[in-house]
């Protein structure tokens, strides 16, 4: 564990960048430092690898003050990734990634084999190995930066706004990739961002900092959304925090109805037996949803796809949250969401009203949990 123990950083010009900050950063999880520009995120991160020394307080790594070990040993145990990747422009991608292992004495061939493995791990095509950084897109360069930081297999990764300079679509890809890599490798990651959505998506724990380098709140993302510590945190979280909190509730418990589902080849008996449903979901012959219709608009044996209403975006109960289910229902002209399995076959439908009840139940369970935690 990394323990930041009442750390203050005052720069020589008198600026207090970090003010009595204490944080226990858990092992093998992603801890995000988030806050507005100038609130001391970078300073905090750089104090962890001693690029900046605290004015007061100390930082402990597994119980030992980080000043007790040579700074080079410390930095070897901490990969560092920055915005715009900071790659060596005159070295190929493969050599960029192999740099640190080479410095540590790994034979050239072995370092290159390892670099090639890492390229694959971070989702880079092997064909890019011999290119130079300027020949890569911004997103690809960030992947190289991550691969390079992982090359010496450090237990800790420090990441300072690594995805901030790329466009939103590429950023989402990089975030997904980081979560996947973290699932496999289980590093202790300290991740700095000014983007609260990124913090909530990536963080196991999120530390919200305010200007002046003071900690506003340190909590798991779901707790931030349900119980912001003060008006600053609430404001920073933004307006739709209620909706966003639904991302942390699974949709798996929703009670699904199967009766309103009919195949496009439905016969007269099948349609008649479902005549009292407000809407029927029509599927293709493989069971994939095609669209909604009122029952009395359907003619057995002659259901046309063009007469169906859009079924919106389906959700997968084992994987998606209540937010995705609600989104599906809100987007659907019928107010019903469609649940599908991993192959996209309809497994049930659920109304906005039932989703609303599940949301209320989830809220009260979460409130109970919070009460239990508070009592303990
Ligand atoms: N080397 C420095 N000398 C003086 N002030 C600095 C220095 N580095 C950062 N600061 C100031 O410290 C504060 C925190 O900076 P920083 O840690 O970079 O914030 P963030 O990464 O959250 O944007 C800012 O007010 C910044 O201007
Ligand atoms: Mg910064």
Mean pLDDT across the chain, nearest whole number?
Answer: 92
277/348 Cα distance (integer angstroms): 14
Question: 11 alpha carbon to ligand 1 midpoint, in Å?
Answer: 8
Question: 14 alpha carbon to ligand 1 midpoint, in Å?
Answer: 11
Q: Which residues line ligand 1 (CB under 6 A)?
A: 11, 13, 15, 17, 37-43
Which residue is it, tokens 């190929």? 92
Tell which atom from ligand 1 comes closest to the C-alpha of 43: 17
What does R_g of the chain's alpha carbons equal in angstroms? Answer: 26
Tokens for 120? Answer: 């694959």
> Which of the 8 DSSP states describes residue 63?
T
* Residue owning the nearest CA to atom 3 of ligand 1: 11
* Residue owning the nearest CA to atom 25 of ligand 1: 38
Ligand 1 pocket test target in 9, 16, 40 with most atoms within 8 Å of CB:
40
Ligand 1 pocket test target in 10, 15, 33, 216 with most atoms within 8 Å of CB:
15
* Residue owning the nearest CA to atom 4 of ligand 1: 11
CA atoms within 13 A on the CB side of 231: 0
pLDDT of residue 255: 96
Ligand 1 pocket test target in 9, 14, 16, 17 with most atoms within 8 Å of CB:
17
Question: Measured between alpha carbons, how far is residue 342 from residues 247, 288, 339 in Å?
Answer: 19, 11, 10
**Region for 62 from its dihedrals, namely left if φ exceeds 0, alpha if ψ lies in -120 to 50, beta otherwise:** left
CB-count burial class (<10 Å; 0-12, 13-18, 19+) for 12? exposed
219/216 Cα distance (integer angstroms): 10
> Tens of pLDDT along 135-173?
999 899 999 999 999 998 899 999 999 998 888 888 999
pLDDT of residue 234: 94
Question: 39 alpha carbon to ligand 1 midpoint, in Å?
Answer: 7
Under-50 pLDDT residues of the chain: none
* Residue owning the nearest CA to atom 12 of ligand 1: 17
Ligand 1 pocket test target in 43, 44, 213 with most atoms within 8 Å of CB:
43
Closest CA to 216 of 199, 202, 240, 239: 199
Tokens for 282? Answer: 């029509």
Tokens for 269? Answer: 């008996």
Question: 222 alpha carbon to ligand 1 midpoint, in Å?
Answer: 29
pLDDT of residue 114: 92
- 73-108 b/e (C-beta count within 10 Å ≥ 16 → b): ebbbbbbbbbbebbbeeeebbbbbbbbbbbeeebee
Q: Where are the beta strands (DSSP E) in 118-239?
A: 156-160, 188-193, 205-210, 214-219
Tell which atom from ligand 1 comes closest to the C-alpha of 35: 22
pLDDT of residue 376: 59
Domains along the chain with CATH numbers: 2-239 (3.40.50.300), 261-358 (3.10.580.10)
* Residue owning the nearest CA to atom 2 of ligand 1: 11
pLDDT of residue 373: 66
Tell which atom from ligand 1 comes closest to the C-alpha of 161: 21
* Residue owning the nearest CA to atom 10 of ligand 1: 17
pLDDT of residue 165: 85
Question: 262 alpha carbon to ligand 2 midpoint, in Å?
Answer: 55
pLDDT of residue 3: 98
DSSP H helix total and E strand total for the chain: 13, 15
Tokens for 41? Answer: 């995120």
């Amino acid at each position: 564990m990394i323990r930041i123990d009442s750390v203050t950083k005052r720069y020589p010009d008198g600026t207090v960048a970090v003010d009595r900050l204490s944080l226990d950063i858990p092992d093998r999880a992603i801890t995000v430092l988030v806050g507005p520009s100038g609130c001391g995120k970078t300073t905090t991160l750089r104090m962890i690898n001693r690029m900046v020394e605290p004015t007061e307080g100390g930082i402990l790594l597994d119980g030992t003050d980080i000043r007790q070990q040579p700074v080079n040993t410390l930095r070897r145990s901490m990969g560092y990734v920055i915005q715009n990747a900071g790659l060596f422009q005159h070295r190929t991608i493969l050599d960029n990634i192999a740099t640190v292992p080479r410095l540590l004495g790994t034979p050239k061939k072995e370092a290159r084999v390892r670099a090639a493995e890492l390229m694959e791990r971070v989702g880079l095509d092997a064909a890019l190995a011999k290119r130079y950084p300027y020949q890569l897109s911004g997103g690809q360069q960030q992947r190289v930066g991550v691969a390079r930081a992982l090359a010496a297999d450090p237990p800790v990764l420090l990441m300072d706004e690594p995805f901030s300079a790329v466009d939103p679509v590429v950023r989402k890809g990089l975030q997904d990739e980081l979560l996947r890599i973290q699932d496999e490798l289980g590093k202790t990651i300290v991740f700095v961002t000014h983007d609260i959505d990124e913090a909530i998506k990536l963080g196991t724990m999120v530390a919200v900092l305010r200007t002046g380098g003071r900690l506003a709140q340190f909590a798991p993302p779901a707790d931030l959304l349900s119980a912001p510590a003060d008006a600053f945190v609430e404001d920073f979280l933004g307006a739709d925090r209620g909706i966003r909190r639904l991302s942390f509730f699974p949709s798996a418990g929703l009670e699904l109805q199967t009766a309103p589902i009919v195949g496009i080849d439905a016969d007269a008996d099948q349609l008649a037996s479902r005549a009292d449903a407000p809407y029927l979901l029509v599927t293709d012959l493989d069971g994939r949803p095609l669209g909604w219709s009122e029952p009395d608009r359907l003619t057995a044996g002659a259901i046309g796809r063009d007469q169906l209403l859009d079924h919106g975006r389906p959700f997968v109960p084992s994987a998606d949250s209540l937010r995705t289910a609600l989104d599906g229902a809100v987007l659907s002209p019928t107010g019903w969401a469609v649940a599908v399995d991993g192959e996209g076959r309809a497994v049930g439908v659920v109304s906005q009203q039932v989703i609303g009840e599940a949301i209320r139940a989830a809220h009260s369970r979460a409130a109970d949990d919070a009460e239990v935690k508070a009592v303990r």
